[in-house]
Amino acid sequence: MSQEQWTAVDQYFTNLLVPADAVLEEALRASDAAGLPQINVAPNQGKLLMLLAQVHQSRTILEIGTLGGYSTIWLARALPSDGHLITLEINPTHAEVARKNIERAGLSSLVEIRIGSALDNLPKIAAEGHKFDLVFIDADKVNTPDYFSWALKMTHRGSLIICDNVVRKGGVIEAGTDDPNIQGIRRFNELLAAEPRVSATAIQTVGVKGYDGFALAYVVAD
Ligand code: SAH
Ligand code: DHB
Ligand code: MG
């Protein structure tokens, strides 16, 4: 099995199941043009996020790690007209690209971008009393354990917490790794395992983005 084959199969499913979408394509084009890294979720992963939020009937969503707003658009499309999504981004250039992309998507009234380090903004958002039906964690991997702790504070019984990039080409099983990103993800997985308030699983994926995976946690107690 090769990256070439994973990419071809992703292309096959995306062609079949993820209709061509000028707004999303333009969001990626504008992100590229601005020099943003191409680390957005793949189209079929973006659609999975939207489907999960739809099935779950999420009305309030928190995203940690906006980049150019590609996953933001997928998630916000699941919201009802009175829904709300807060997305956190440390890089003002990324946030500005995202703002334009979200505007073009007609989603500005639903989406609030907060610029700054997520660890600075999360306590403020919690202090404002926000509660979220769904949290998507996809920023730096080092602070992912802290993002999960904040997510737990701002969710309720019935909420979903989704965390991207929990496999890192299989690096996640290297207990002695000196890679701080993998250490962060391992610590997150350990918190997830030890947390009685969630029922969780993790899934490996291959595709256009290589070999990685995501974790899904269902908050089963307040
Ligand atoms: N969710 C996006 C991809 C996010 S990439 C998508 O799928 O389309 C990760 C983003 O997190 C980058 O834009 C990066 O600038 C941002 N980021 C990194 N560290 C951060 C921090 N400490 N606080 C907030 N955002 C951060
Ligand atoms: C990276 C970050 C991501 O969120 C992702 O999905 C893939 C790669 C990265 O920082 O390399
Ligand atoms: Mg990611």
Q: Are 27 and 70 in contact (CB under 8 A)?
A: yes
Q: Does ligand 1 have an atom closer than 6 angstroms to the CB of 67? A: yes
| Nearest-angstrom CA–CA distance, 72 and 49 | 10
For residue 22, the tally of other CB atoms under 10 A from its CB is 9
Nearest CA to ligand 2 atom 11: 39
Pocket test for ligand 1, best of 91, 96, 142 (most atoms within 8 A of CB): 91
| Nearest-angstrom CA–CA distance, 152 and 160 | 10
Please check the confidence at residue 100 and state whether its pLDDT lies above 90: yes
Beta pairing partners, 62: 86, 135
Output the pLDDT for position 88. Answer: 99
Q: Does ligand 1 have an atom closer than 6 angstroms to the CB of 71? A: yes
Residues with CB under 6 A from ligand 2: 39, 138, 164-165
Output the pLDDT for position 1. Answer: 83
Name the burial class of residue 33, with classes exposed (0-12), middle (13-18) and buried (19+) by CB atoms within 10 angstroms of its CB: exposed
Mean pLDDT of 52-72: 99
The predicted model scores a pTM of 0.98
Residue-wise pLDDT tens digits, 163-202: 999 999 999 999 999 999 999 999 999 999 999 999 999 9
42 to each of 10, 11, 146, 184, how far by Cα in Å? 9, 10, 25, 23
Q: pLDDT band at 41, cuts 50/70/90?
A: very high
Query: Quick one: the chain helix, strand, coil %, rounded to 5?
Result: 45, 20, 35
Pocket test for ligand 2, best of 91, 165, 172 (most atoms within 8 A of CB): 165
Q: What spacing in Å lies between the alpha carbon of 29 and ligand 3's midpoint?
A: 18
